[in-house]
Structure 1
Amino acid sequence: MILTGLAVGIALGIVMQRGRFCVTGMLRDIFLQRSWRTFVGLLIVIAVHAVGLAALTSTGVITPTYNNFAPMAVIVGGFIFGFGIILSGGCASGTWYRSGEGLVGSWIALATYAISTAAMKDGALTGFTDVMFSWETELTTLPAMFGVSVWWFVIPFAALTAYLVRRFMILEAQRPKIARLGNQPAWKRPLHVYTAGALIGLIGVIAWPLSAAAGRNSGLGITTPTSHTLQYATTGDESYLNWGVMLVLGILVGSFIAAKATGEFRVRVADATTSVRAVVGGTMMGVGASLAGGCTVGNGMVQTSLFSFQGWIALLFIAIGVGVAAKIFLKPASVAKREAATTETYSTEESLAHATPTSAEDRVLPLNTQDTQDTQGTGTAATPAPLGGVKVATSLVSLKPAVSEKLRDLGSGYYALDSLGAVCPFPLIEAKDVMKTLQSGDHLVIDFDCTQATDAIPQWCATDGHEVTDFKETGEASWQITVKKG
């Protein structure tokens, strides 16, 4: 029976990979993009899950058990987990499926996540776990507290989710069409995040009775199965080889199958900074999820659908941890730049102090019509003599905004940004940052190999009014998109 876990995991891995379904990104977008659009995808998972599990419980097919709410463990654990998933570049399920795409940074985060989870549950850190769980309340679920059927919560929540889906779909229909990769068959195109959410919710409903039939009275879960995977691999103890272990291994297999079939698999080695963050983030994920009683799947999808105190409060503090870490760590690379309007004027000394030009001629414009006449009176602009590689004006000048040093000038208003090797969300962060330095009508050519950016960058363009003039594959798990500034 445990092989049904492998089948469920493969299906889950395929859907998550094709839907770029990442709860970390959904929570991160709330803080960095001020957007709730993708978060609604998580609400769809919860709503579908809630309806299905309520139906299965009402008919006696499953009999969920509910943990007493331990405030200190859940609150602290949720925050630590949320902070950690920003550093590791993905939540627990996201780390599993991105490992299947070939991201070495995710492999590192997955290893330290498994080690710290095992230490918290059965190893050297069990004492710390016990202390954190020492304060336990009688609270379990909201329906139990109010003494009502779970349907009193399920139906209004499903209705609210349906309203939000309709609202965001209408907004999506009103904005420019999202650019997609050219000459790509329909089966290779990513799933809409809402479609992926509905499928994941359905898979979660199917998972519970299959898991229960294998002796595991639970549904989808990542943290404990990850710990058991490590313990089985290191001890050979077959008691650890269970339905949950098959589930997480299936996610890895399903993601690999989907990525390989669509040309999105390639081993991508992380740089030193990303690797260090993955070690720290993975460790924090394991510690936090063990304390909170689950990750963004166990708490954020399953326990929330049961309307438990643990699930919803853990999700809240995971979001807070994501928000704090995002503000600290998710910033564009720092370079010398100046954001000045085209009508601003500077003296020659100020011009030299601020100049970081790729091409000096693109920066120096005459202030008045007299400066546009050459010495022969032909009406063409005179060329100032260069000084230290920067052309010097002899009077006040009006400057264009300085183009970022991150860019390579391709000429004719085209600039190149190399984001190869950058993990989500940095290709988008860097693109937004350098776009501020370009003029309307300039083109930004972005090379990247982050799978999630194939959706995130076109979404940003449609939202901010930029035009995608070209979008193509340049190799295995490598893409190039050309964006015209609006």
Structure 2
Amino acid sequence: MGTNAFHSQQKWNLGFIVFLSLLLVLLAQISIHLTLIFALGISLGFVLQKSRFCLVSALRDPILIGMTQLTRAFLLLLGISILGFALVSWGASQRNIPLILNVFPLGVHTVVGGLLFGIGMVLAGGCSTGILMRIGEGFAMQGVAFFGLVVGAVLGERSLIYWRNLFGEWPGIFLPDLLGWVPTLILEIAMLVALWQLAKWWQNKQLGE
């Protein structure tokens, strides 16, 4: 039975790969840009599903079970993103290409919204990407969580002006404008390295490694 199930799964995988390949070929006839976006989405979904990467696990596991592998993976992701953004910004400045940055203001509503979103992630059992990944795997209950995510996002967007007026806001801060690019990179990477070491120490302490 096990061998038959394995071969059956292989056939499904092969069929799915053929289907995706044909779909990409058809999309390429319509728009190369759309094809690249679709291929990137499929690739990201594949990596997320195989790595089991989830922001909830990265923030929850150190407290519940003392494991920090995903926490350190998240810190690594931040480090790569910071270096990549700095490289793109430097390349744009060398070519005199203007960059439009969205540095949003902060307020009490930002903290309250973050806490509510964090509590919701834990109760739902996954972050936004985790919910989408599990829906793709066939977990029907994650569809309920996704519906709540969509409703909450729409209500939040429609009522954002009200919360801004109620709590007030402070101007957003873009560190390179205050410190310069090199000091900002040094500061951010140093903070990530310190958090990495702290996460590693916490796991060793909790699990007795």
TM-score using structure 2 length: 0.68
The count of corresponding residues between Structure 1 and Structure 2 is 170
Cα distance in structure 2, aligned partners of 1:5 and 1:73 = 33
Cα distance in structure 1, aligned partners of 2:52 and 2:143 = 18
- One of 134, 153, 176 as aligned partner of 2:184: 153
Comparing 76-85 with 149-158, which one deviates more in the overlay? 149-158
Please say which structure displays the higher CA radius of gyration.
Answer: 1
Residue by residue over 1:222-266, the C-alpha shift from the partner in whole angstroms, topping out at 9 and shown as x without a partner, is xxxxxxxxxxxxxxxxxxxxxxxxxxxxxxxxxxxxxxxxxxxxx
Cα distance in structure 2, aligned partners of 1:17 and 1:156 = 32
Cα distance in structure 1, aligned partners of 2:163 and 2:201 = 45
- Shift in CA distance, 26/169, structure 1 to aligned 2, threshold 3 Å: closer
- One of 10, 19, 22 as aligned partner of 2:51: 19
Once the two structures are aligned, what percentage of the paired residues are identical?
Answer: 23
Structure having the higher helix fraction is: 2
* CA-based RMSD: 3.1
Shift of 1:115: 2.7
Which residues of 2 match residues 30-109 of structure 1 at below 5 A?
30-60=62-92, 63-109=99-145
- Shift in CA distance, 77/160, structure 1 to aligned 2, threshold 3 Å: closer
Contact kept in structure 1, 2:56 and 2:122, CA below 8 Å: yes
Counterpart residue number, 2:28: none
Residue by residue over 1:339-378, the C-alpha shift from the partner in whole angstroms, topping out at 9 and shown as x without a partner, is xxxxxxxxxxxxxxxxxxxxxxxxxxxxxxxxxxxxxxxx
Counterpart residue number, 1:382: none
Residue by residue over 1:431-481, the C-alpha shift from the partner in whole angstroms, topping out at 9 and shown as x without a partner, is xxxxxxxxxxxxxxxxxxxxxxxxxxxxx9xx479xxxxxxxxxxxxxxxx
Shift of 1:164: 6.4
Which residues of 2 match residues 394-473 of structure 1 at below 5 A?
463=207
Residue by residue over 1:142-172, the C-alpha shift from the partner in whole angstroms, topping out at 9 and shown as x without a partner, is 333xx22233222343355457668978999
- Shift in CA distance, 46/62, structure 1 to aligned 2, threshold 3 Å: farther
Residue by residue over 1:260-312, the C-alpha shift from the partner in whole angstroms, topping out at 9 and shown as x without a partner, is xxxxxxxxxxxxxxxxxxxxxxxxxxxxxxxxxxxxxxxxxxxxxxxxxxxxx
- Shift in CA distance, 171/84, structure 1 to aligned 2, threshold 3 Å: closer
- Shift in CA distance, 169/113, structure 1 to aligned 2, threshold 3 Å: closer
| Aligned AA (1:84) | G
Structure having the higher strand fraction is: 1
Residue by residue over 1:57-79, the C-alpha shift from the partner in whole angstroms, topping out at 9 and shown as x without a partner, is 11116724133323122111101
Counterpart residue number, 2:153: 117
Contact kept in structure 2, 1:43 and 1:161, CA below 8 Å: yes
Structure 2, unmatched stretches of 5+, are: 1-32
Which residues of 2 match residues 384-399 of structure 1 at below 5 A?
none
TM-score using structure 1 length: 0.31
